[in-house]
Amino acid sequence: MITLKSISKAFEHRPVLKNVDLAIGSGESVFLCGINGVGKSTLLRIAAGLLSPDAGHVEICGRDMTKDPEGARLHLGFISHKSMIYDDLTVLENLMFAARLYGLPEPRRRAADMLDEMGLSGFAYDRAAILSRGMLQRLAIARALVHRPAVLLADEPFTGLDGKAAAHLTDVLQGFGGAGHAVLMTTHDVAAGLQCCRRVIVLHAGSILFDAATEGIDPVAFARDYVTYAGGRP
Amino acid sequence: MRYFWMSLGAVFVKDLVTELRARQVLPTMIVLGMLIVWVLRIACEAAAGSTAVIGPVAFWIAFLFSGILAQERSFATEQQHDCIYGLLLAPIDAGTIYLAKLLVNVVMLCIFEVIVVPVVIVAFNLRVGAGWPGLIVVLLLGNVAISSVGTLFSAIVQLCRTRGSLLSILVLVVLAPVMVPATFALLLMFGAIPAELVGTGALAFVGTFKAAVGYMVAFDVVFVTASWLLFGFAIKE
């Protein structure tokens, strides 16, 4: 579903990613971790088509991001710690807008269904500006999933969330991966990342250092070992 | 094609609704426009200048600066909560985003013109007479020129995190070639240039009213098309 082939990227001649290869299949959820500045967000933004790699190419559901960007983006959902929500639109309008951007046939109905699913129906006609951080993140998730994407990219989605909101997001991510879709996420919360995903990848010095199934990994030991090895917080 | 119109409509309606709800741009534009007209009217009186000359100039100064003010906001809302990524992640062509933003800026400037044009006409005692269609065409062409340049450079300045003050400099420099025929057309319309002087002096290259309008049409077509095609590159990080 997601194929990243020989991705390299440098910022002002400082290499961030060096020849990274990554393939994520249907039903796979991958937790990408690494110290600050190692290139996790850069890799995600390249996968989303928001940033062009210096070398290599990206395929989403068989669509090449360079040759057919619209076709590739059609299958992509993106969640980040920033909501991508307009303060001056209502909660329902925000979702209807997203649904229209993806050409959905009944944007109002689809938006209302998503609000039901996320438990935001009671706020449908309120301006998004009044939502709490947790509710805003739920709306951001609804926005990312409104067009039923096959691939979900999540960049630090747990930032600023309280326990309840984080638990809800964990459910959503686990459910999405379990439904045969693909997930690629980054977070500094190692326990949450290992809980949400079935595979973990450690990015270090621009390359993939470690790639394994999360099953059986102890989050505390993993975080400790990583800190010892990489010399920084994962 | 249906999808193009749907996404264009979605971005256009979203922008118009957010602008009208926030009520940030239009009131500021109107206050600035009125201030410019008022100052020029006083200057005209003090210097005993011809109202037929200063009036058309007042039109363009008010439109130009109020337009830049509106266009500065064009992509500011997209910066909040990284909303621009929501647009760039959607399966729409960057050119469609440009066209939708351009349309919103044209509409905002049209609303502004509906309010300010009668004020300028009354303040400078301009006689439009049967010239209304010509006046509307010239103002609309000028509106499209200001909006097309402003929308493109607003995106570059805001999204590339360049300094905001650059917008005015870039827009004013690029718009200079179209402001000459635009001013000339209105000066001719209000009889500020004697018939015997048409085709001579600094404005000789513009020629007649028709030629001035032709220059404006050409500028609009070239700039809107080029911006539509180049917008994707302009906003790419």
By C-alpha distance, which of B143, B144, B166 is closest to B154? B166
pLDDT of residue B108: 92
Find which of A159-173, B37-51, B142-156 is predicted with most confidence, using mean pLDDT.
B142-156
Chain A contact for B4 (CB, 8 A cutoff) = no
Determine phi and psi for A183, rounding to 5 degrees: -130, 135
Scanning B84-123 for CB atoms below 8 A from A yields 85-93
Mean pLDDT of B9-20: 92
Are A98 and B86 a contacting pair at CB < 8 A? yes
- pLDDT of A232 higher than 60: no
Which residue segment(s) compose the domain that B19 sits in? 2-235
Mean pLDDT of B208-232: 91
State the nearest Cα–Cα gap between A196 and chain B, in angstroms.
24
pTM of the complete model: 0.87
Distance CA B10, CA A27 (A): 32
Are A50 and B88 a contacting pair at CB < 8 A? yes
Mean pLDDT of B25-35: 90
Q: Which long-range contacts (CB under 8 A, 24 or more apart) does B174-177 make?
A: B174/B149, B175/B64, B175/B145, B175/B146, B175/B149, B177/B215, B177/B219
Assign B113 a pLDDT band (cuts: 50, 70, 90).
Answer: very high
Q: Give the list of residues 6+ apart from residue B148 with CB closer than 8 angstroms, or none.
A: B102, B220, B223, B224, B227
Mean pLDDT of A191-220: 86
Interface A-B, measured as beta-carbon pairs within 8 A, has a size of 76
Contact residues on chain B for A93, CB-CB shorter than 8 A: 14, 17
User: Reduced to 3 states, what is the DSSP secondary structure of residue A171?
Assistant: helix
Chain A contact for B233 (CB, 8 A cutoff) = no
Chain A contact for B11 (CB, 8 A cutoff) = yes
Scanning A155-184 for CB atoms below 8 A from B yields none
Are B81 and A83 a contacting pair at CB < 8 A? yes
Distance CA B75, CA B86 (A): 13
**Superfamily assignment of A1-75+150-234 in CATH?**
P-loop containing nucleotide triphosphate hydrolases (3.40.50.300)
| Domains of chain A by residue range | 1-75+150-234, 79-148
pLDDT of residue A9: 92
ipTM field: 0.88
Which of A49, A78, A84 lies nearest to residue B83, judging by beta carbons? A84
Percent of chain A with pLDDT over 90: 50
Chain A contact for B1 (CB, 8 A cutoff) = no
**Taking CA A75 as the corner, what is the angle to CA A69 and CA A78, rounded to the nearest 5 degrees?**
90
Which of B3, B10, B85 lies nearest to residue A50, judging by beta carbons? B85
Which of B80, B82, B90 lies nearest to residue A101, judging by beta carbons? B90
| DSSP percent split of chain A into helix, strand, coil, nearest 5 | 40, 25, 35
Are B22 and A88 a contacting pair at CB < 8 A? yes
Distance CA B212, CA B122 (A): 25
Contact residues on chain A for B6, CB-CB shorter than 8 A: 100, 103
What is the identity of the amino acid at A11?
F
Tens digit of pLDDT for each residue in A72-97? 999 999 998 889 999 999 999 999 99
Least confident of A30-34, A52-56, B21-25, B88-92: B21-25
Tens digit of pLDDT for each residue in A144-189? 999 999 999 999 888 877 787 788 888 888 888 777 889 999 988 8
- pLDDT of B164 higher than 60: no
Mean pLDDT of B209-223: 92
Percent of chain A with pLDDT over 70: 97
- pLDDT of B195 higher than 80: no
Mean pLDDT of B51-56: 84
Q: Give the list of residues 6+ apart from residue B96 with CB closer than 8 angstroms, or none.
A: B4, B7, B8, B11
Name residue A234's beta-bridge partners. Answer: none
pLDDT of residue A100: 94
What is the identity of the amino acid at B169?
I
Are B81 and A85 a contacting pair at CB < 8 A? yes
Assign A190 a pLDDT band (cuts: 50, 70, 90).
Answer: confident
DSSP annotation string for B63-126:
HHHHHHHHHHHHTHHHHGGGHHHHHHHSSS-HHHHHHHHHHHHHHHHHHHHHHHHHHHHHHTT-
Q: Would you mind telling me the total number of residues written for chain B in this entry?
A: 237
Number of domains in chain B: 1
- pLDDT of A234 higher than 50: no
Distance of CA B184 to the CA centre of its chain: 17
pLDDT of residue A210: 85
State the nearest Cα–Cα gap between A169 and chain B, in angstroms.
19
Q: What is the CA radius of gyration of chain B?
A: 19
Which of A50, A74, A143 lies nearest to residue B91, judging by beta carbons? A74
